[in-house]
């Protein structure tokens, strides 16, 4: 994830540094300190937003997994599996 953010920041910087010349070609110019600072701030903000979103998603997934774990269906499957295991044991003796 960090690599994607860094790549996106580099891409933004590269696109921001390209200036169209009079002959229609593009040339890369050195970005100003203000442009570098803005790109860095944007990358940090994107990273923080991504971290927040993934944390919220993780919490939702965890809550859903807990709900499934405690459901009646899962309890029924566990008891059925236990009974099937006991039957298999009794037939193999």
> How does DSSP assign 13-68, residue by residue?
HHHHHEEE-TTS-EEE-PPPHHHHHHHHHHHHHHHHHHHHHHHHHHHHHHHHHHHH
pTM of the model: 0.45
The model's pLDDT over 8-41, given as tens digits with 9 standing for 90+, comes to 777 776 666 666 677 877 676 777 888 889 989 9
The CB density around residue 39, as the number of other CB atoms within 10 Å, is: 19
The model's pLDDT over 36-86, given as tens digits with 9 standing for 90+, comes to 899 899 999 999 999 999 999 999 999 988 888 878 888 888 888 888 888
**DSSP code for 71:** S
The candidate with the shortest Cα–Cα distance to 46, out of 93, 9, 83, is 9
Tokens representing 63? Answer: 């809550």
Q: Residue 48's pLDDT is what?
A: 94
Q: Residue 18's pLDDT is what?
A: 65
């Amino acid at each position: 994830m960090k690599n994607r953010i860094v790549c996106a920041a580099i891409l933004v910087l590269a696109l921001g540094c390209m200036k169209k010349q009079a002959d229609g070609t593009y040339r890369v110019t050195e970005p100003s300190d203000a442009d570098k600072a803005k790109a860095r701030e944007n990358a940090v903000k994107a990273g923080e937003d991504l971290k927040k979103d993934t944390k919220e998603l993780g919490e939702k997934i965890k809550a859903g997994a807990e709900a499934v774990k405690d459901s009646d269906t899962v309890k029924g499957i566990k008891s059925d599996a236990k009974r099937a295991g006991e039957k298999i044991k009794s037939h193999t003796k």
